[in-house]
Chains A and B, each alone.
Chain A
């Protein structure tokens, strides 16, 4: 149960959080990711859009920290700006999935019966397709681009949140205080918003953090396939794609975006795992 989740936020939460290694490490990595993206809005060592053919494929140097790509663009600046792209796609896609999915899950849990059956069969149906294939199919239909890749990733997040929300909400619905709220004459809609939603927020937040990492990965995959962010906007996935043909000549072009993706996903996953440990009262008691 998540009943201590919100209750334990506050002083106790941060005291436990500081001791939780993966939470701290994940938090630092995520903060670096967000900080880099924010910084790139106002400053990058070089313009990530300026093509400078004479300086193409330079190795690492004090001027070009991580070298330059075949068009002479600074790899470090591209990575910084690419972080923006990953974050925007991740945030918006997860927000879409979270809002619609949680709403569906809450609806299923509040109405039960055929509504629940319908929602759950819909999630089963969408889970039958591998997520990334669904996204490729959707971008193929809608056309490549950042917005369409956001929509595609958002759509396959809906059933995930619907399931998580329904499961957690069903557990809340079976609790006595919901019966007590019903005994006070409250309707299902009010109970959903006053009693069920606040009690499943922590579960949803944890899920959102983990899904955020997967959305970044999915965006990179789509961009790698040329279905996501289009040039000249920098994207980690497309940087990998462009580095592919030069892997023997300039391996750093593939290595650094790869490291960036890996660190971002690792950081967000650790943060999500840490959050789950910290807000789950069963695990708190065990320690």
Chain B
């Protein structure tokens, strides 16, 4: 096992709500090795993005953070804003889901990419722009020198996502958080962006936290997976193990719900019924003290609602938070 880069322990985030604090993250644990790739999967509202924002220290106003985030041996929880500013974009970088809104519409992209290098690495504008050209070229933006003067609206969605990645790579971060990097893109472009991320991880020894609700994306790029539901990690382990043999009822349902491409159907065979997990994610106030998935789970028993289930190992490195694992398999 390589050196641990990021270690998150019992991370809790409470958001201010009308009837008292709402738990957005309920004490999650995970770690990422230097150069490792962790895929964070879950439905919208499961706390994936909240995890990313907590790591960056960019939680919405009024949010309460507790637990521990150790990054490169340093505790990030409770660090002053100025120290976090030095880390952000420099050691930890982040890309966002919708690159149209995550790039400043009234600033040329060259300046946006160069800016963070000028800020953290003390480059002059000319040096930073040369470096920006190199990075844009690396992420596969055609004709990068000329593109420096382009505005975000002049680029396609895939190109904008590439610009975002170049922007994040500017200071050679040790950890890249990619929040839904492929969600806003066409299927063909999705594959290219994921391949690019995987290449970058390999060539730079950078760790990647890939956040996506798209299981295919995570399966394609991540070595490890953590499945989130209702602000808790319900299952985690090596990607192959989790995808091949999901243990938690929610992870099982999630993977069963993936529509498969069925060649028989094209030949006229009746279509297999798509599987869905009944119900929908309740809002944050709707969770009881026990397992967050209890209300939608087919195997629920009284004990499930009593206390949050601990993660128990199912195979080497693979664990799931369910008290009925023994009865399920």
Contacts and interface: CB of A to CB of B under 8 A. Distances in A.
A183 B119 CA distance: 13
A7 interface: yes
B107 A185 contact: no
9 nearest A-B residue pairs (beta carbon): A184-B89, A185-B89, A185-B88, A3-B105, A176-B101, A184-B116, A183-B94, A176-B102, A180-B102
Given A185-B86, A185-B119, A180 B106 contact: no
Interface of A: 3-7, 112, 175-177, 179-187, 190, 194-195, 198-199
Given A7-B105, A176-B96, A186-B119, A112 B61 contact: yes
A199 B101 CA distance: 13
A162 to B, nearest CB: 21
A185 B79 CA distance: 14
B116 A180 contact: no
Given A112-B61, A176-B96, A184-B167, A195 B104 contact: yes
Interface string B100-112: 0111111100000
Contacts of A179: 58, 96, 102
A180 B86 contact: no
A183 B89 contact: yes
A195 B105 CA distance: 9
A81 B103 CA distance: 49
B151 interface: yes
Interface of B: 56, 58, 61, 84-90, 93-94, 96-98, 101-107, 115-116, 119-120, 151, 153, 164, 167, 170
Contact of A184 (B61, B88, B106, B107): B88
B55 to A, nearest CB: 10
Q: In terms of DSSP, what is the predominant structure of the interface of chain B?
A: mixed
A180 B107 contact: no
Nearest to B88: A185
Contact of A182 (B58, B104, B120, B153): B58
Contacts of B89: 183-186
A183 B177 CA distance: 10
B209 to A, nearest CB: 13
B102 A177 contact: yes
A176 B120 CA distance: 21
A199 B103 CA distance: 12
A104 B319 CA distance: 54
A180 B168 CA distance: 9
A181 B306 CA distance: 43
A181 B86 CA distance: 13
Contacts of A187: 85
A3 B106 CA distance: 7
B115 A184 contact: yes
B58 A185 contact: no
